[in-house]
Structure formats: C-alpha cells, structure tokens
Amino acid sequence: MRGVSDLGFTSPTPIQRDGIPPALEGRNVLACAMTGSGKTAAFALPILQRLMGAKRGATRALVLAPTRELAAQIVDVFNDLAKHTPIKAAAIYGGVGMEPQERALRRGVDIIVACPGRLLDHLQYPYTNFSGLEVLVLDEADRMLDMGFLPDIRRILKQLPPIAQTLFFSATLPTAISDLSRQMLKNPVNLNVERPSAPATGVEQAIFPVRQDLKSALLLELLRGDGIQNALVFTRTKHRANRLADFLDRHGVACDRVHGNRSQAQRTQAMSDFKNGRYRVLVATDVAARGIDIEALSHVVNFDVPHIPDDYIHRVGRTARAGATGEAFTFVSPEEQGELRAIERAVAMRLPKRTLTGFNYQVKTAESLEIPLGERIAAIRARKSEERARAKAKAERNIQPSSNRSATRPEGNPRPSFSSGSSRSYGPPGQDSRGSHPPARSFSHGSRQTHGSRQKRSQ
C-alpha cells in the first residue's frame, strides 16, 4: 500500500475495481480496457500481492508485451509499486545487449517483462529457467495474438511449465482475437469483452481535411499558435517520420523521432527528452502507439490516417490518460476518406471537422514528404552501381600485389614445389599438384580435432 500511496493513487479505476478481485482469487482474466485506464496496475497489484512472502530466487511471473517501450513502462510500474518490498522486475527486449538480461535470468529475478523475439533468443540457453513460473500475462493481447505474434507466443508457451494463472489485458479485443483468447484461457472472468472499442472519454477528437502535400505546412502553422503545448505526431512510415522531423527542425520546432530503425538507446533518449520538455514534438510510427505514458500530453496528431481503426484508438489514447483531458487531431487527405469512415464506424461517431483560420488551403507547395517513385528507383540504381564499382576496384587492388610478386621473382628460379605430403597445392580444389585426389587426413587419439568434432563437442 505504501507504493500505491507514493504514486498518488487514491481510488481504483473501473478496470482496476473489476479486475483486481478475481485476479487476487487466482482466476484467469480476459479484460478489455481503454488505453490510459490503469490496466497495468490492474494486473501488477495482484501479482505483487501473490509474490509477497514467496520464496525468492526464481522467476514467478512473466509478462509478454509487443513493444520495447511498453515493456519498459510495465517494469517501471512494477518497481515503483514494489519499491518498499524486495520484489524486483526486469525487462527483456531487443536493441540492447543480452548480458544484463542474462544476469537477471540467472539470478531468478521475481518478474520478467519481455518482448517475444528477444525472450526466444534467451530460451535457447539453459540459464533461462521458468520452472517456478506461476503467472503469465499478455498485455495488449490483440497485438500479441495477431498473425504476427501468434507463432512466437506458441513457441514460448511450449517451453513454459503448466501455469496457475493467465491474465489477458488489452485496450482492444476484436471478435476473432477474443475467440482465440478464450481458447487459451480456462474459465476466464470476462471484463468488458463485448464493449466496443473506444478512446478514453477525456479525448476531444477532430479532423482537419487537407491535401496530402499541405499536411506539413498545416502542422507547422498549428504549432506556431498557442494551443499546442506538446504533441505526439504519428506518421504512416519510418521514412515519413524522418522527413517530417527534418522539416520541423528546419523551421525551428524542437523535435525528435521514434521508430523501428532507431536504436533502443536513441528511442529511450528521445522519449526522455520529450517527457522532460527538451523537445516539444515527438514524431513516431505506431511502434510508439502502445506503452508510451506521458503525463500532461496535450495533443496527439495523426499526420497520416491509420489503416486500422484499433491503431487510431491506441494513438489517441496517448493523451487524456488517467482521467486527464487532451485533444487528438487527424489530418485527412481526399485519398484517406475510406480509412476515416472505418474509424468513425469503430468509434460510433462522426468526428467533427475543423479548419485553421488564415491558412491557405489552395497554395501550391514544392515541399513534399514523398519522393517520387522514379527518383527512388534511380537512387537505388545509382547506389547499386557505386557498390559494384567499389567492389571491382577492390578486386583489382587485391590482384595487383600478386602480379607484382610474380614479376619480381628472379629469372631461372622456378616456383617452389611441394611434396605430396604438403597441404598446399596448385591444382583444382580437392586435388594435389599432380592432379590426383589426396588421401583423407586422419587424426589419432589426442591430436587436434576437426571442425565437425569440435562443433559436436560444444553442443
């Protein structure tokens, strides 16, 4: 309770009020909760209560999460809640070294929060021991169980012992995913499973109809006003995120970017700088839509309309967290009307339209985030041509020294010959200098081993 008080929690959110009691009873839970509703604490508190007083030195709880950012956030929640106890949590995800993670697994840290890919890497080695595992949590279950994550999840489950309790928590649960979740859970308590997906109630949503080529200029004009304190801006691709961040930086807006091509250190630093106010804008792909918890985030901007309505819900859920309020703007080009209609059906409302007074929606602009296809193909061909030229030049440099050595050999001094017992030959591969195949080499007991035998011994 001291950890709860330190975090300023005074009363439970609806998902905490409904989810914590059955989880404390040890029952399986399948819960659908809005982003920002406190679902992390809804499974963290029962797990910590279960582990209190238990024998330490073995991992008792495993939480699987789809992104590094979400895994890091969950670990922070566990450690903050448990700071007055000996219970510790550690994160396992890619993009960073495996050695610290290996040490955590070897010492049997109480709670592991992991991304599936990196966890599978560790499961290849005997130091990963989950024999004492009691609780399994899948957070953001819709992503974890979609066609991309399901094979990894199944491989992990095959290597786990029988689990006493399984908890599924997610902001969205499409019907197909809900059915699959029920197959993996035995007699679960279902919470809000039939509730339609929706953003948090404190989010004021609006759309800005605008041509694709004017989106950058519109965003810049909005940022020049006083209405946006800080903004998380979502783009469709990593390349668009890079080009938009460069555009904003050139026009004096303090910003950084987060996407899958950035290293974990770069992503962590960008998030930290955005949270502490060094950057006013963070441009991101959907890798940041899940698990980013930023206090007092005033705005989310969908620079590109997401293709999947659930992604829209996760994006706009980054603002108005824990009962706060915020605004979510979506820039909609004529080509994106279909995606907009799908979102409006999912949230069961027509999103209000806005325009920015004084902005010229008819101006022609030479600035574009998209590189024409012909230019991209030409750039790829030019790069390949340069690579081939470099490879050819390198090959010629390697040939030249051997030619020089042949030219400087004294006349009348023949090339040295080697006996049949020598391992060096000038015939075709597999033949000695006389053209016949040499006898197979054998090693008696105690002599050095072949590569194959060394490999077999090391397995």
Mean pLDDT in residue range 434-450 = 44
Instruction: Give the pLDDT band (50/70/90) at residue 126.
Output: very high
Confidence at residue 373, expressed as pLDDT on a 0 to 100 scale: 61
Over residues 235-252, the pLDDT tens digits come to: 998 899 999 999 999 999
Report pTM.
0.64
Measured CA to CA, the distance from residue 395 to residue 384 in angstroms comes to 17
Is residue 432 pLDDT above 50, yes or no? no
Which domains can be identified in the chain, with CATH numbers? 2-191 (3.40.50.300), 203-363 (3.40.50.300)
Instruction: Give the pLDDT band (50/70/90) at residue 75.
Output: very high
Please state, for a pLDDT cut of 70, what percent of the chain lies above it. 76
Over residues 142-157, the pLDDT tens digits come to: 777 665 778 898 899 9
**Taking all residues of the chain, what is their mean pLDDT, rounded to a whole number?**
81
Pair type for strands 29-32 and 203-209: unpaired
Taking alpha carbons only, the member of 266, 312, 324, 258 closest to residue 285 is: 258
Confidence at residue 150, expressed as pLDDT on a 0 to 100 scale: 81
Beta bridge partners of 273: none
Mean pLDDT in residue range 166-170 = 87
Instruction: Give the pLDDT band (50/70/90) at residue 366.
Output: low
Confidence at residue 389, expressed as pLDDT on a 0 to 100 scale: 87
Is residue 433 pLDDT above 70, yes or no? no
Confidence at residue 95, expressed as pLDDT on a 0 to 100 scale: 84
Confidence at residue 317, expressed as pLDDT on a 0 to 100 scale: 74
Is residue 451 pLDDT above 80, yes or no? no
Confidence at residue 370, expressed as pLDDT on a 0 to 100 scale: 66
Mean pLDDT in residue range 365-374 = 66
Measured CA to CA, the distance from residue 311 to residue 418 in angstroms comes to 70
Is residue 452 pLDDT above 80, yes or no? no
Instruction: Give the pLDDT band (50/70/90) at residue 438.
Output: very low
Is residue 214 pLDDT above 60, yes or no? yes
Over residues 229-238, the pLDDT tens digits come to: 999 999 998 8
Instruction: Give the pLDDT band (50/70/90) at residue 44.
Output: very high
